Amino acid sequence: MSLLSLNAMKTDIEQYHVLHDVTFDVPEGGVFVLLGRNGAGKSTTLRSIMGLWSPSPGSVTFRGKDITGMHTADIARLGIAYVPENMGIFGGLTVEENMILATQNGSFSKSRLEFVYGIFPALERFWDKPAGSLSGGQKQMLSVARAIIEKRELILIDEPTKGLAPSIVDAMAGAFAEISAETTILLVEQNFHFARRLGREMAVIDDGRVVHRGSMEAFVADTELQDRLLSLSA
């Protein structure tokens, strides 16, 4: 059974039909990549899973449980973490306070913190700094760190490489590889070169519809399909 299933999901935002028919299954383990052009509906898909928009009709199933229409907070409590495109950092709070908020009951184990520091060593240095004073890359690390401070079932990550320096993108790729060993990641990306290194399974979304599903290996091999679906110049 797959971890997460989206079935004919349709989402309207005010009077606009953003998603028409989004159907795909995310298997347990590894990184699942959702590709697509700007404005294709990738972010809306993640927000709909998270309950920040409510899809209707259509359904979202997590571990066999229908989570459509559930409150965002309750969805999060099932073990789904969300790293939004704008990172969702609380700038007026310290890094530590940001991390505390990401825990269910306000405390984290020493060993788990060591694990997070192991992936993002920079965080230790900025521990009592206001998160608003961090650089873009550091904020992105904090945002991902929040998602893994407690072990989750699934992490939704929205365009984590946007606007980051190449060296940080590399570090991020390493981090995701490490995280995906214990947690499934659903990664939304526009940066195909980043995504192809990580993804095992993938789907392409265009104009609110899933237009392709399959393995990353096959997709990487088929350059014609890539051109058609992503119109990549490089």
Partner 1 sequence: MNATLERFGGVNLLPLAVAAVAFVLIGAPSSWVTLTVAGLAMGMMVFLMASGLSLVFGLMDVLNFGHSAFVSLGAFIAASVLAALGGWLGSPSVLMNVAALAAALGAAMLFGLLAGLFFEKVIIKPVYADHLRQILITMGALIVVEEAILAIWGGTPITVPRPAFLEGAWIIGDVSIEIYRAFAFALGLIVFGGLYWVLNRTRLGLLIRAGVENREMVEALGFRIDRLFVGVFMLGSALAALGGAMWAGYQTLITPALGAEMMIVVFIVVIIGGLGSIEGTLLGALMVGLVANYVGFLAPKLSLASNMILMMIILMWRPSGLRPAVK
Site residues (vs partner 1, CB under 8 A): 50, 52, 71-73, 76-77, 81-82, 84, 88, 90-93, 97, 100-102, 104, 106, 132, 146
C-beta closer to partner 1: residue 47 or 212: 47
Cβ 21 to partner 1, closest distance in Å? 25
C-beta closer to partner 1: residue 38 or 105: 105
Find how far residue 212's CA is from the centre of its chain. Answer: 19
For 222, the token pair is 């088929």
Residue 50, SS3? coil
Q: d(Cα 159, Cα 94) in Å, to the nearest integer? A: 24
Cβ 76 to partner 1, closest distance in Å? 4
Residue 18, SS3? strand
Query: Helices in the chain by DSSP H: which ranges?
Result: 42-49, 72-77, 95-101, 110-119, 122-125, 136-148, 166-179, 192-198, 216-221, 223-230
Residue 7 · residue 194 · CB < 8 Å: no
C-beta closer to partner 1: residue 28 or 85: 85
Q: d(Cα 92, Cα 84) in Å, to the nearest integer? A: 18
Cβ 9 to partner 1, closest distance in Å? 18
Cβ 152 to partner 1, closest distance in Å? 10
The enclosing H or E element of 32 equals strand 31-35
DSSP type of residue 17: E
For residue 42, which amino acid is it? K
Contacts of 76 (CB under 8 A, 6+ apart): 50, 82
Cβ 222 to partner 1, closest distance in Å? 35
In angstroms and rounded to an integer, the radius of gyration of the C-alpha atoms of the chain is 17
C-beta closer to partner 1: residue 49 or 173: 49
C-beta closer to partner 1: residue 50 or 216: 50
Cβ 97 to partner 1, closest distance in Å? 6
C-beta closer to partner 1: residue 101 or 218: 101
